[in-house]
Structures are given as structure tokens and as C-alpha cells.
Structure 1
Amino acid sequence: MPANPRFLMCPPTHFAVDYVINPWMEGNLHSTDPARAQSQWSALHEVLSGLARIDLVAPGEDLPDMPFTANAGLVLGDVFVPSRFRHAQRRGEEALFTEWFAQQGFAIRQLPADMDFEGAGDALLDREAPRLWLGHGHRSDAGIAQEIAAMFDLETIALRLSDPRFYHLDTCFCPLSGGWLLYYPPAFDAEAVGAIASRIPESRRIAVSEQDALAFACNAVNIGTTVVVNRASGELKATLAKAGFEVIETPLDEFLKAGGAAKCLTLRLDER
């Protein structure tokens, strides 16, 4: 673990639910409270600032989902692989994020133009082994796994997401320090569940309840032995404590209206 972890966040200046591109947005059109969203984002920023360095990217007008910086792309070392969003409503973010990373000195590597990929929303590094988990089925194409494996000479495991409520991998799957895994098995098809079980020992897998999954407990930011979440049940907090983790809850229900929480609102910049 680097001594000074680094994350990218984007202020929710233009955050809103102005369209429907996932099940969480249904019924929430134009229902967000800007002041509440800002307050919740600021509280998350304050918590994370005590644990890591936070960089900011300027929000783009007419891009209400841009605060979900996890979807900007994949960061590995000094390389940034920009996303290619499936939905037209988010494609305006691509150039802004790419420009920011180029200005920061990252090398930009592009994926094939005809493939969808939604960054660290669907591409998560294991915290113990040299492997990357790639979620597909709703937003990212399965073939991205082969592209990334070849690009970085890194084992990449494709996991098919089967429940549309968990449309990105980071909504239901969170690798933790020490080789632990926080996840919601019903979000995956049988083959994906088997792929996970064959690589992560049962003793290191923490399966959450549907209640915790729907509170986006798996959409967590893990820094060392700290796990920052929107909300977690007492049972889950006790299980994580037994595994050596401290849970910090910071309410993000305003962002759940758009289908995101703590992890969605951050992008790790010092991945090795």
C-alpha cells in the first residue's frame, strides 16, 4: 500500500438525474437535491482527505454523471485507458477525463473504438494477486478482458453480471486488502461465481445480504484496513471487523438515485 494513496474526484456541481440509463434512475428523474448532494459529496471528500490525497477534475456542463469518476477509465501505473461509454449521455466525459490525465503526465492508451468499456466501474484490481477482474454484460464488452490482458500482460478474469440493478462490477464486488473480497454473489451468473470461488478462498470471501447490496455496501473505498461506505448493516460491520477492517459510513443516498455511491465517486490514481 503506497504511503500516500491518491484518488480523483469531481465536484457534483451539475449532478442530477436527467435521464434513465440504469434501474436506479427509474422513478428518480429530476428528483435530486443539489444542496444535499453537495453536502454528502463534501462529507465523503472530507473522510477520504484524512486517508489519502484527493485530486479534483473540473465538472463538465450537461454531464450530470461526471462526479462518478470511477467510470473515467482504467489507471495502471502511469498509463490511463479511457472509457468508451455505452450510453451517448456520458460520452462527453471521455474527452474531459482524457485531457486531465494527459495534463497529469499519464500515457494514454486507447481501446478499439467499437468496444464499450466503463473504466474502474467494471475493471477492478485484486489487492493480493496480480490480476484484474472485468465485469461485463450491461456496460462493458466481454472482449475488453482480452484487450487489457494483452495491453498490460496481466491476468484478466471476465465476470458476467446478470442482475441489471448491479450494472457495474463495482456495485457488487470489492477486492479488499489482504486478499479479502466483499461481494454479492446473486449479481453474477454461475460461471462468474465459479471463477471467483476458484481464485478467492472461501475463508476470504465475504458475501453480503441483499439488504446490504442494495445499500451499495460493496461500492466501497478500501484504504488499508479502512472501508468507507454509504451504509452497512451491523452484521456486515461485525464481519468486516473480525477480518480486521474498520468501517466508516458516510450517507450518499442522494447519489444512489443515479446508481452510485462511495466507490463510484472516486478513482484510484496510484494503482501499481
Structure 2
Amino acid sequence: MRTTVRRATARRYLMCPPTYFKVTYSINPWMDPAKPVDLRLALAQWEDLRDRYRALGHTVAELEPRRDLPDMVYAANGATVVEGRILGARFAHAERTGEAVAHREWFHTHGYTDVREPEHINEGEGDFAVTSSWLLAGRGFRSSPLSHPEAQEFFGRPVIGLDLVDPRYYHLDTALCVLDDSTDTEVMYYPGAFSPGSRAVLERLFPDALIATEADAAALGLNAVSDGRHVLLPQAAVGLFEPLRQRGYEPIGMDLSELLKGGGSVKCCTQELRA
């Protein structure tokens, strides 16, 4: 079998250091306030991810953390950026509401002019995944179905709604990863996270998708970031490495075990600033 030659493209990311990260409440099945967080280790793991992006030639901007917002490290949830247009977030849980304001302020401060404060609940790239032509949009636990037509009108591109049914995969980015956003064909996902109808949609749209096992999904292996060639993903998702290599990708395992205690990994920490 001939392996496809993959090409990386330089990306711009927005991240937020876990300076005030802690787990003192539970808003997803991964969060257990009884399990202590090693803040020094969390920061080291986060810095390793940030530095790896930069070593691969990507640009990383940093959002100033706020003491009263311990989940700000999960920067992907703060907005969705497509062609320089920003659809802000509106969080489902009161504990995270202030993050949306912090993200909007950052965009305004850094010269972005087309910034929309949403009417309906969406949690940014937690539930919106961008392909070449579409937005894949999760719903069922956090983002409202009403956020989907709102995003379609704002971005002017088709939004494909996908129903999440397993509370462990409360955001789309825990259950699906776009591997090559220059096409509408290259994704990996875990079928068990989706309703039967949504699985049928995914099978029709992505007949050649990389299908993750339950074990790799449970390691949050789909909470990954791809630049078109390099795929940064949790190192514990060992079953995904060889299938990715067979498709021409270069998997890079990352250890974000401390941040997993809050229910997030590589993608949750990474918002893409698409020009």
C-alpha cells in the first residue's frame, strides 16, 4: 500500500497557561475534586505542548490566565475562528462564563474586528470542528442545537450537526479530530460517542475515516491537533499511532495527564487562529 505524502502547514494557536488550574468542582465525568492536581507538573506538561508547537514552526500566542477561572487552560472552548472571523463562546456552566469575556477582550485587543458575541450556548472548538468546507458541530451535553444555525449564518458555511450520547465525550473534540482541514475527507472518530443517526452521517461523509477503539477514545486520544502532517495526541492512545503512520501522518505523543483531570488534553488546550 502506497502511503500518502502529508504536508504540514504553519498554524497560529492561542493557549492559556494553567497558572491557576485546579479541580474544585465537577462539570464533566473526568473531574473529581477528591483527586489533587500537581500544579507544577501541569504547567510543565503544558509548556512542553506549547514548545512542541513552536519547534514544529507554529506560532503560539498566550492568553493571560485569571485566578477565578481555573479552566481557562482549555483555550479551545473560548471561541471559533474561521477566516479571521470570531464566533465567541457562551458557556453552559456558570463556573466558566467569565472565560468567554476574557477571550473576546483578547481578540479586540489584538486587532480583530469581526467578533460576534453569540446568542446561544456554544463552547467554541470544543463543539465546532473545521474542515475545508464545513463545520462539524456537536450537541447533546454542552452546545445548544440553536448554536448551529447561528454559526452557519455567521461563517457562511454548512454546519453538520452531530449528536453526542456518551457523557464521557461531552464535547465533539473528545470524540472526533480533523486530520487534514485542506480537505473534507480526513478525520478520525469514535463511533460509540455518537447517536445511531449521527454515526450514519459520519459513515457517509467519511467512509475512509480512521476509527478509534474504545480504549483509545477513553485515553482522550481523539482530543488531538493536526497540522496536516504532525498529529499531537495523548501518548496513552497507543492504538492510534500505527494507523496514523499508515496514512502518512507523524503522530507525536504528549503527556498531559494532569490536565486530563479536568477533562481535557491536547486539543482542549489549543485554539486555532485561522486567518
Match of 1:93 among 88, 93, 99: 99
Match of 1:143 among 143, 146, 171: 146
Match of 2:164 among 152, 156, 161: 161
Superimposed CA distance per residue, residues 211-251 of structure 1 (whole angstroms, 9 cap, x where no aligned partner):
11011110001012100011254442111101000110110
1:33-48 map, 5 Å: 33-48=38-53
Q: Which runs of 5+ in 2 are unaligned?
A: 1-6
- Equivalent residue number for residue 116 of structure 2: 109
**Does structure 2 conserve the Cα–Cα contact (< 8 Å) formed by 1:8 and 1:55?**
yes
**Does structure 2 conserve the Cα–Cα contact (< 8 Å) formed by 1:216 and 1:231?**
no
Relative to structure 1, is the Cα distance of residues 2 and 95 closer, same or farther in structure 2, using a 3 angstrom cutoff? farther
Structure 2 counterpart of 1:216, which letter?
Answer: L
CA RMSD of aligned residues (A): 1.5
**Does structure 1 conserve the Cα–Cα contact (< 8 Å) formed by 2:217 and 2:237?**
no
Match of 1:12 among 18, 23, 36: 18
User: How far apart are residue 210 of structure 1 and its match?
Assistant: 1.0
User: How far apart are residue 167 of structure 1 and its match?
Assistant: 0.4
Superimposed CA distance per residue, residues 49-87 of structure 1 (whole angstroms, 9 cap, x where no aligned partner):
112000001001111100100000111122111100000
**Does structure 2 conserve the Cα–Cα contact (< 8 Å) formed by 1:139 and 1:167?**
yes
Task: Say which is worse superposed, 153-162 or 235-244, in terms of deviation.
Answer: 235-244
Secondary structure at the aligned position of 1:176 is classed as: strand
**Does structure 2 conserve the Cα–Cα contact (< 8 Å) formed by 1:12 and 1:41?**
yes
Secondary structure at the aligned position of 1:60 is classed as: coil
User: How far apart are residue 110 of structure 1 and its match?
Assistant: 2.1
Structure 2 counterpart of 1:259, which letter?
Answer: G
Match of 1:23 among 29, 32, 36: 29
Secondary structure at the aligned position of 1:65 is classed as: helix
Q: Which runs of 5+ in 1 are unaligned?
A: none
Percent of aligned pairs with the same residue? 36
Equivalenced residue count is 264
**Does structure 2 conserve the Cα–Cα contact (< 8 Å) formed by 1:176 and 1:222?**
yes
**Structure 2: how far apart are the matches of 1:144 and 1:210?**
29
User: How far apart are residue 105 of structure 1 and its match?
Assistant: 1.6
**Does structure 1 conserve the Cα–Cα contact (< 8 Å) formed by 2:9 and 2:228?**
no
**Structure 1: how far apart are the matches of 2:239 and 2:35?**
34
Secondary structure at the aligned position of 2:267 is classed as: coil
Q: Is 1:231 the equivalent of 2:235?
A: yes
**Structure 2: how far apart are the matches of 1:2 and 1:237?**
17
Match of 2:124 among 107, 119, 122: 119
**Does structure 2 conserve the Cα–Cα contact (< 8 Å) formed by 1:5 and 1:53?**
yes
Q: Is 1:247 the equivalent of 2:251?
A: yes
Task: Say which is worse superposed, 2-11 or 164-173, in terms of deviation.
Answer: 2-11
- Equivalent residue number for residue 195 of structure 1: 201
**Structure 2: how far apart are the matches of 1:41 and 1:34?**
10
User: How far apart are residue 166 of structure 1 and its match?
Assistant: 0.4
Structure 1 counterpart of 2:146, which letter?
Answer: G
- Equivalent residue number for residue 81 of structure 1: 87
- Equivalent residue number for residue 62 of structure 1: 68
Secondary structure at the aligned position of 1:135 is classed as: strand
Tell me the TM-score normalized by structure 2.
0.92
**Structure 1: how far apart are the matches of 2:9 and 2:219?**
30
Secondary structure at the aligned position of 1:91 is classed as: helix
**Structure 2: how far apart are the matches of 1:8 and 1:35?**
21
**Structure 1: how far apart are the matches of 2:236 and 2:224?**
10
**Does structure 2 conserve the Cα–Cα contact (< 8 Å) formed by 1:159 and 1:192?**
yes
- Equivalent residue number for residue 210 of structure 2: 206
Relative to structure 1, is the Cα distance of residues 233 and 58 closer, same or farther in structure 2, using a 3 angstrom cutoff? closer
**Does structure 2 conserve the Cα–Cα contact (< 8 Å) formed by 1:183 and 1:207?**
yes
